[in-house]
Amino acid sequence: MKSIFDKVKLHNGVEMPVLGLGVYKVEEGTQIEETIHSALDYGYRLIDTASFYQNEDGVGRAIRNSSIPREELFITTKVWNSEQGYDNTLRAFDESMERLGLEYLDLYLVHWPVKGMYLQTWRALEKLYKEGRVKAIGVSNFKIHHLQDLLSHCVERPVINQVELHPLLAQTELRNFCRQNEIKVEAWSPLSRGRFLDEPVLGSISDRHGKTPAQVILRWHLQHEIIPIPKSVTTSRLKENAEVFDFKLSQQEMAEIDGLNKDQRFGADPDHIDF
Ligand code: NDP
């Protein structure tokens, strides 16, 4: 991995950037537009939004006002929990596309595995995929048992599983399962929202490379072939998070960061969602 323009090939042949920008909690209006403009200037091409984030309109405006050709961008959005089910998902997709102002979407994800619903939701994603309205379909917050259930019922297999993942929650078993099934893993909260950037192990590794702890964590994701989507509304951090292609962690350093894992979730457990 040499540049932010590098791509990873999904099992259906579609190529996706190796790192992206997450926009949860980026405010609709000038904040989302300015954030995306800065990000595009620093080379980000993957934008991760969701109907739940209520900023799809702004994402769409920022894309239209940029000079980057549509085919160079990779836009992800997600169907929210209350929008699941076959007909509801088809409607939610149309609404998201209307807000985004796009003719096609790059990646559509099932946001959470809502019990008793996600298989019907998936059928709707398969239809949208077959119609060419979305280039790739995937899931988010699926545990191994959710994936096993989906894989035994689906026609199209998910290309991606986007889950909470950072050094304190390394998700090794899930990552292995995904690798065996050609499902790429994308990390949400890849920096754990900055909660453990003062961890001494990260400190000494970052000093050695002249990088920040956040950059070391992002590099750890990349070297594990995990796609991180860090969020920031701060220009200097957008730049910092993109500058992770000019150094390499050794096997020893990777192992030290692997050793920080505590299976510690900060977000919701997908088996116990009540939203
Ligand atoms: P992140 O781990 O990306 O952390 C974001 C926070 O860290 C912000 O407060 C940001 O501050 C701060 N930050 C960013 N860069 C740095 C840095 N270099 N140094 C110090 N602090 C930094 O967490 P998110 O939860 O936002 O996850 C990223 C994306 O993942 C989301 O935006 C969303 O797209 C997706 N996501 C998906 C979920 C799902 O269920 N599928 C759930 C949650 C997130 P500031 O902005 O003030 O600069």
The secondary structure of residue 227, as a DSSP letter, is: E
Give one DSSP letter per residue of 246-266, joined into a string: S----HHHHHHHHTT-----S
Provide the residue-wise pLDDT of the chain in tens; the chain has 275 residues: 899 999 999 999 999 999 999 999 999 999 999 999 999 999 999 999 999 999 999 999 999 999 999 999 999 999 999 999 999 999 999 999 999 999 999 999 999 999 999 999 999 999 999 999 999 999 999 999 999 999 999 999 999 999 999 999 999 999 999 999 999 999 999 999 999 999 999 999 999 999 999 999 999 999 999 999 999 999 999 999 999 999 999 999 999 999 999 999 999 999 999 88
Comparing CA positions, the residue from 249, 182, 229 lying closest to residue 18 is: 229
Which one of 231, 234, 275 would you pick to mutate in the ligand 1 pocket, going by the greatest count of ligand atoms within 8 A of its CB? 231
pTM summary value = 0.98
- Catalytic status, residue 44: no
Which domains are assigned to the chain?
Answer: 7-193+226-232 (3.20.20.100)
Per-residue model confidence as pLDDT tens digits over 146-181 = 999 999 999 999 999 999 999 999 999 999 999 999
Query: 233 C-alpha to center of ligand 1: Å?
Result: 9
Determine the longest span between alpha carbons in the chain, in angstroms.
Answer: 54
Cα pseudo-dihedral 17, 225, 79, 139, rounded to 10: 140
Name the residue at shortest CA distance from atom 11 of ligand 1: 232
